[in-house]
Chains A and B, each alone.
Chain A
């Protein structure tokens, strides 16, 4: 099975069209002749020729275009239309009048948002959580992957992998419920503490330790799943490098430092970029679920700020402005992070 799939692994998409680009994409017999012309045109990548054949290409590929159409339509409605819907951020929007009738107020909502201490509290919480998880979450999958990779028995390795991936597929409601059952006031931990005559500890509702709670929930749910990419990168390291290092006298730890970690470098950089680009998005459902328990002070992040001011309090334009600020800053962050990766010679998320 594994070998079968491996053989079908696509080539890296780094150099334009694959050289073995096939011309015989004709669906119906009459067009065969033009397809052979197309072979010459595209095989040697004569661009003007391809452009001239636009009509021919459309006739040849129309079923492919038709197949992509439903997804494009869904995106147009549920991803692109809402992008336009962000105009309410520049209005004093009222659901009863609708977007066309609502008065325009220019940048008023933005100035209000930027002067709002609650907004800045949400920004602060978001960034603190991101920074904390960058230190205490991000390295966990790397360490676990290296540990797992050092196991010699493949059977044990895949069994442990299967267990570690599992919590990723649980919902946040389920994860928080599980934590509640174990660490909550009536949970397993406090139940046994009380049984032994000790004081119960308050974990689930303590705002001061909420950061640790959040991070341990995130680790429990997703750290195991996170190793999958690192395991793939580890299996791509040429064993001959380890052998050569060992022959040269490098011990276990030196091999890890000089062979394993460099082998993981580009994946680490890639995931770091993605995480930084996503700095402003932290555990939205996690926060909503635990807001009642720890209070808004500790659990307000940007997404919850938008949700509660907009959908709950009906201040649509104000919330949309805050959401738009978040979206644009996130976009800028990911573009910047990618640029930095290029400067350091890594390929990053995309390349030109």
Chain B
């Protein structure tokens, strides 16, 4: 008996598939080796694609950490690493407009993502059992909003009618739930083995308990992907901010980035060159880098789950 129970978890657990070290020799027998021209073409195209994504990021990050002298020598953007200096970051993060904007963006993103996740997970679980009470009407209530949106003007009038203009709630509540994300979560919850949920229920677990102690721990991957989607949405939100926020001291980072990089407003401190301040380009690049850093940090951890998470959405949506 004890040997049996010892073996069971191994068989039933989420065992990794046997690693298949696929190498070049794995090409199926019927598939001919591509010709030299085709091969070279593929390599060139893929190299261009990768370079087109990473190249600009490389020069922007490098310029943001280059010293005034290196930037002057390069004549603008730096391609070859020279003298490294973090003066730009020290300058924009030592209080002032950019620092405030970073705090606003972090706060809105954290609060918004937490709220969105709670509401979406609850809704997705509540809708994960076709045939339950009011299942179809609620689902339709959600889906209709994907086909018809009210438009900018009524949305603005509503937010202003609720007195949310110039509040951070205006950056959170109108974009709090994405029906698409709920459908992805729901698709995943519906795919969870019914036997497990039933045994929980037979043991007397309520729906709440089933959700928090059984369903959620099984759905870490999809939850992470959806949290990334929401988080990126809040972090990147630009239009809602220019629509609902008129007080420039409440601006999130994206709006500040726009004014410094696209509208030519000088980054504070940029003018006093004599005081050893960072160079203008470095400051601009540093603001750009700040806007992409959270994404660059979280992305690698969540990225590997994309295909499955989005695939379910594609199948269900």
Instruction: Tell me the bound Cα distance from A163 to B52 in angstroms.
Output: 10
Known contacts being A24-B198, A180-B262, is A191 close to B307, with CB within 8 Å?
A: no
Answer yes or no: B7 CB below 8 A from chain A CBs.
no
Residues of B within 8 A of A27 (CB): 201, 206-207
Question: Which among A65, A68, A160, A306 is the interface contact of B153 at CB below 8 angstroms?
Answer: A306
Residues of B within 8 A of A246 (CB): 30-31
> A16-32, CB under 8 A of B: which get 1 and which 0?
01101110111101000
Docked-complex contact A67 and B122, CB < 8 angstroms: yes
> B266-303, CB under 8 A of A: which get 1 and which 0?
00000000000000000011001001100100011001
Known contacts being A25-B129, A74-B177, A284-B239, is A178 close to B56, with CB within 8 Å?
A: yes
CB distance from A344 to the nearest CB of B (A): 20
Docked-complex contact B238 and A85, CB < 8 angstroms: no
> Please, which residue of chain A has its CB at the minimum distance from the CB of B22?
A154
> B130-174, CB under 8 A of A: which get 1 and which 0?
111110001001110101111111111110100000000000011
Residues of B within 8 A of A4 (CB): 14-15
> A324-352, CB under 8 A of B: which get 1 and which 0?
10110011001100000000000001100
Answer yes or no: B95 CB below 8 A from chain A CBs.
no
CB distance from B154 to the nearest CB of A (A): 3
Docked-complex contact A68 and B138, CB < 8 angstroms: yes
Docked-complex contact B126 and A66, CB < 8 angstroms: yes
> A51-93, CB under 8 A of B: which get 1 and which 0?
0001001101111111111111011011111111110100000
Answer yes or no: B37 CB below 8 A from chain A CBs.
no
Docked-complex contact A323 and B236, CB < 8 angstroms: no
Count how many chain A residues have C-beta atoms less than 8 Å from C-beta atoms of the other chain. Answer: 127
Docked-complex contact A8 and B192, CB < 8 angstroms: yes
> B94-118, CB under 8 A of A: which get 1 and which 0?
0000000000000000000000001
Docked-complex contact B187 and A326, CB < 8 angstroms: no
Answer yes or no: B123 CB below 8 A from chain A CBs.
yes
Known contacts being A71-B177, A154-B22, A171-B235, is A24 close to B151, with CB within 8 Å?
A: no
Docked-complex contact B133 and A323, CB < 8 angstroms: no
Instruction: Tell me the bound Cα distance from A43 to B295 in angstroms.
Output: 47
Docked-complex contact A243 and B133, CB < 8 angstroms: no
Answer yes or no: A285 CB below 8 A from chain B CBs.
yes
Instruction: Tell me the bound Cα distance from A165 to B305 in angstroms.
Output: 12
Residues of B within 8 A of A163 (CB): 49-50, 53-54
Docked-complex contact B173 and A74, CB < 8 angstroms: yes
Docked-complex contact A191 and B153, CB < 8 angstroms: no
Question: Which among A77, A152, A172, A334 is the interface contact of B147 at CB below 8 angstroms?
Answer: A334
> B173-207, CB under 8 A of A: which get 1 and which 0?
11011010010000110111110011001101011
Among A10, A172, A232, find the residue whose CB has the most chain B CB atoms closer than 10 A. A10
Q: A3-B17, A77-B158, A330-B148 are in contact. List 5 more A-B contacts (CB 8 A).
A: A42-B131, A83-B150, A310-B152, A319-B152, A327-B150
Interface residues of A (CB under 8 A from B): 1-6, 8-13, 17-18, 20-22, 24-27, 29, 42, 50, 54, 57-58, 60-72, 74-75, 77-86, 88, 95, 99, 144, 147-148, 150-154, 158, 160, 162-167, 169-174, 176-178, 180-182, 186-188, 191, 194-195, 220, 224, 228-229, 231-232, 239, 242-243, 246-247, 251-252, 267, 284-285, 288-289, 292-293, 303, 306-307, 310-311, 316, 319-320, 323-324, 326-327, 330-331, 334-335, 349-350
Can you identify 10 A-B contacts, CB atoms within 8 angstroms?
A3-B17, A70-B118, A75-B141, A83-B150, A158-B304, A177-B261, A181-B288, A289-B238, A306-B152, A334-B147
The 8 closest A-B pairs by CB, nearest first: A85-B154, A171-B236, A323-B151, A82-B150, A67-B126, A10-B191, A68-B126, A71-B123
